[in-house]
């Protein structure tokens, strides 16, 4: 009986974590990914109330279909802030990463209470989306925002950090067919639409079985 669990996947049968035991990754990559996979489920930077809001935000910004292992987006953002990893730059009027997140979450809950009489994480998805759209458009005005513009927080912190956290996880790499850092193996076939044997194979012309077979050989 063929395995159809990933029949709708663009890169069926591909699991980037197979590479961690082969020659495609070096020891540094293995250590970084092992640390990333070992993160727990509880926040170390956010309070419990803040973390509930971040979980809700992750569900709206990077919803997941449940077909593969869930990516702990909120935990990855929490970890970045816990270890004080900085982007190295910030827009005028934007506080540093930690302060910006605390201020933004407080202001978002204040907006939710004012508009819907509930904290953001307790709202229906449609109400959450409406508030996020107003934030993106710069239409939120609660004094809790202070000098930080809501649309800048949305663009430079909220959406950016959540999306980057999503694509920092190996499960996302498997979904998009990425092999992880190219060191030390690199790539040889550099012309358009060419594929090295250690890269993921994409389904072509609906031939899922052919792509799945090639992906079982990727190392």
184 forms beta bridges with 25
pLDDT at residue 69, rounded to an integer: 66
Pair 16, 60 in one domain: no
Pair 8, 46 in one domain: no
Q: Two tokens at 38?
A: 């070992």
Per 3-state DSSP, what percentage of the chain is helix, strand, and coil (rounded to 5)? 50, 0, 45
Backbone angles phi, psi at 47, to 5 degrees: -70, 170
Mean pLDDT, rounded, of the chain: 91
Mean pLDDT computed over 159-168:
97
Pair 106, 74 in one domain: yes
Spatial distance between the Cα atoms of 154 and 92, rounded to a whole number of angstroms: 14
Q: Which domain holds residue 18?
A: 1-24+179-219
Q: Is the pLDDT of residue 6 over 80?
A: no
Pair 188, 168 in one domain: no
pLDDT interval class at 1 (50, 70, 90): very low
pLDDT at residue 4, rounded to an integer: 42
Pair 20, 41 in one domain: no
pLDDT interval class at 181 (50, 70, 90): confident
Q: Are 3 and 36 in contact (CB under 8 A)?
A: no
Percentage, residues of the chain above pLDDT 90: 72
Pair 42, 143 in one domain: yes
Pair 155, 190 in one domain: no
pLDDT at residue 92, rounded to an integer: 84
Q: Two tokens at 15?
A: 């699991």
pLDDT at residue 133, rounded to an integer: 98
Question: Which residues lie closer than 8 Å to 12 by C-beta, 6 or more apart?
Answer: 6, 203, 208, 211, 212, 215
Pair 37, 100 in one domain: yes
Pair 202, 183 in one domain: yes
Q: Give the chain's domain count.
A: 2
pLDDT interval class at 67 (50, 70, 90): low
User: Among 18-32, 93-107, 135-149, 161-175, which is the least confidently predicted range?
Assistant: 18-32
Question: Which residues lie closer than 8 Å to 174 by C-beta, 6 or more apart?
Answer: 11, 14, 15, 16, 17, 68, 200
Q: Is the pLDDT of residue 8 over 60?
A: no
Using CA atoms of 131, 134, 140, 146 in order, give the dihedral in degrees to the nearest 10. 90
Pair 190, 130 in one domain: no
Percentage, residues of the chain above pLDDT 70: 95
Pair 139, 45 in one domain: yes
Pair 61, 161 in one domain: yes
pLDDT at residue 120, rounded to an integer: 98
Backbone angles phi, psi at 77, to 5 degrees: -65, -45
**Model pLDDT for residues 141-150, shown as the tens digit of each residue:** 999 999 999 9
- pTM of the prediction? 0.89
């Amino acid at each position: 009986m063929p395995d159809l669990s990933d029949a709708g996947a663009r890169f069926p049968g591909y699991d980037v974590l197979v590479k961690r035991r082969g020659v495609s990754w070096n020891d540094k990559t293995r250590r970084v990914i092992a640390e990333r996979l070992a993160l727990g489920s509880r926040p170390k930077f956010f309070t419990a109330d803040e973390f509930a809001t971040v979980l809700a935000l992750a569900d709206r910004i990077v919803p997941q279909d449940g077909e593969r292992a869930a990516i702990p987006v909120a935990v990855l953002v929490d970890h970045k802030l816990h270890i004080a990893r900085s982007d190295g730059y910030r827009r005028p009027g934007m506080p540093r990463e930690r302060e910006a997140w605390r201020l933004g979450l407080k202001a978002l809950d204040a907006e939710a209470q004012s508009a819907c009489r509930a904290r953001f994480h307790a709202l229906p998805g449609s109400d959450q989306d409406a508030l996020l759209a107003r934030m993106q458009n710069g239409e939120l005005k609660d004094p809790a925002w202070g000098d930080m513009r809501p649309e800048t927080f949305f663009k430079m912190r909220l959406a950016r950090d959540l999306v980057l956290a999503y694509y920092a996880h190996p499960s996302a790499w498997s979904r998009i067919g990425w092999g992880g850092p190219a060191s030390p193996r690199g790539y040889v076939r550099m012309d358009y639409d060419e594929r090295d044997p250690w890269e993921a194979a994409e389904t072509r012309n609906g031939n899922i079985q052919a792509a799945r077979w090639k992906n079982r050989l990727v190392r």
